[in-house]
Copies of this chain bind each other. A is one copy, B any other.
């Protein structure tokens, strides 16, 4: 549908203007006072005639503010752009009396913070959406010292959840024919296994046995929202180094397994808007369509909380390791020392299985964030790989362990149900056996909390 391509070229022209914002070159006085007054004009029903220009001025002025002025601006949004208490009281009284939909509707309207209206107005301007995403990133950075701004953040989240609805996202394959400007962002945003340079990137985009997919939103143009990197393998991979170093290239027609080995959220300003679940499942479908030979879809995932948890267990005395095991883990010599590795293997697998299956937060969900994500998506815990990541980071975070989660489209629903209802971690019998062994090393076999 060529016509749509044309649509997007217009969007292109539009979003390219984004870099105009925020420069000292705009030459406008960057006083908070002026921004405040511009926002007031923008809310004015009488300001409709030139809302786009006013929105643009507001965003430019915001961009030129310093950090403390931005906090002041957020506070002002909290104070002045709440809702009318009297209107709420009246609307509530009517709702209380009738309880009908009409009165509910009026109460809902009365309660909507005026901030949301302001944010929608700011979005009128070309490139405005991305400016607002960056504004929320600023806001999130201020939340710790300024917890009073949390409700303002809820307004952003409420709007973004609507604007960045899955129905508006576009899945794109990222490859060596992608514009350099986008690839540069991929290098920048990779959050799991850093991309060293362009050669490293090129290896990860090798059309023979690598794929990369990202979600984009038409209004934020060529800014990726989230992306996932995939390696085609023969069998389920057990080492991230083998993948990153490209040691086991396979021809597309030989590959029977797609391994998702890195997934990165790109926009700090979109925290809480979840894309990963949709991305993985759509990529599974794309790959199935393109490469009918693929039989298995797994991840090769880090276990970022394992080492920290184990340290705490040992500290508290809940978990007791022999000196040899404890020393081996702490010294880390197992990378080179095969004998030590053999010794440690059953211990590490046991403890890790125990951690992944039994260590839970108060809400009954796994302590490990990556486990939480994939199990929540309906994947199952498929295999523990040790050593799976011999990098320094891998050893520090998880004593070198990596995990495969398995995505089986026809099991996703029931896995997810079991997990979300009862906290069941669906896994293989091997892992269950490992966990049993792990539990025996620890005083308690049940939930822990960080």
> Which residues of A line the B interface, CB within 8 A?
1-16, 45-46, 48-50, 52, 78, 82-83, 85, 88-89, 92, 95-96, 99-102, 104-105, 107-109, 111-113, 120, 123-126, 128-129, 148, 150-152, 154-155, 159, 161-163, 165-168, 170-172, 176-184, 197-198, 202, 216, 218-219, 221-222, 277-278, 281, 376-378, 412-413, 415-417, 420-421
Contact = CB atoms under 8 A, between A and B. Distances in A.
B50 A413 contact: yes
A84 to B, nearest CB: 11
A167 B125 contact: yes
Nearest to A1: B12
Nearest to A147: B102
A432 to B, nearest CB: 22
A179 B176 contact: yes
Contact of A179 (B2, B108, B120): B2
Given A1-B179, A177-B180, 11 more contacts: A2-B177, A4-B222, A7-B216, A46-B421, A49-B417, A52-B278, A102-B150, A108-B108, A120-B161, A128-B167, A159-B162
A212 to B, nearest CB: 12
A19 to B, nearest CB: 9
Which secondary structure dominates where chain A touches chain B?
helix
Nearest to A251: B25
A16 B111 CA distance: 39
Given A8-B218, A152-B101, A222-B1, A176 B180 contact: yes
A221 B4 contact: yes
Contact of A50 (B176, B183, B412, B421): B412
Contact of A218 (B168, B172, B179, B417): B168
B165 A123 contact: yes
A416 B113 contact: no
A102 B6 contact: no
